[in-house]
Amino acid sequence: VGPGNNLGEPIPIDKAEDHIFGLVLMNDWSARDIQKWEYVPLGPFLGKSFGTTISPWIVTLDALEPFRIASGKQEPEPLPYLRDKQLTSYDIKLSVAIQGKDMKKAHTVCQANASYLYWTFAQQITHHSVNGCNMRPGDLLGTGTISGPEPHEYGSMLELSWKGTKPLKLPDGERRFLRDEDTVLMSAYSQGKGFKIGFGDCTGKLLPARQVSSS
């Protein structure tokens, strides 16, 4: 978020992009075993609250303007406050790779595109503020998992392994979910004629859980 909004004053859809400073890659890590245990009735709580990784710099919407493309038709039609006249997305190529502790290099497990997002960035900002929530400069909002229609475009391990029923084959063995010491590398870029806009790598390593005494 760039400029914020006052408490109680929603951001209208035609002004929403004026409040977006730029984009980063974000991995809001999920502990699916904890999430499955707690999500009824709490929803994703402790399973999502322990760590977030972002890429090293912010890419402004101005820099991405050459890569703006039309979004798909939204059916059913959104409520009036979410009707985005532009209804556009961005051609940003996304990639996710995993490197186990004994692997010499990372193995790509997902290749997708930001254009697969159903809701536009403007719609997400507008919906977040429609109840009067005041956003402030520097606030970070996640779009949610970006997945495409094909299996190699699924954006999470839960989808890639189909809830653990179809393990992925990596050079150091199969994966249903991440292992301790796995490093996850997310990258993204937009390719122009003779130039490329990159986001920098969003890299994080999964360490073993700490043992906490019950006494």
pLDDT tens profile 30-82: 988 888 889 888 888 899 898 999 999 999 999 999 999 999 899 999 999 99
| Predicted local distance difference test score (pLDDT) of residue 44 | 81
CA 112-183-100 angle, to 5 degrees, is: 105
| Residue 214 scores a pLDDT above 80 | no
d(CA 100, CA 173): 9
| Predicted local distance difference test score (pLDDT) of residue 42 | 84
Across the chain, how many H-helices and E-strands are there?
A: 4, 11
Q: Cβ atoms within 10 A of the Cβ of 151, count?
A: 12
| Mean pLDDT on 135-140 | 96
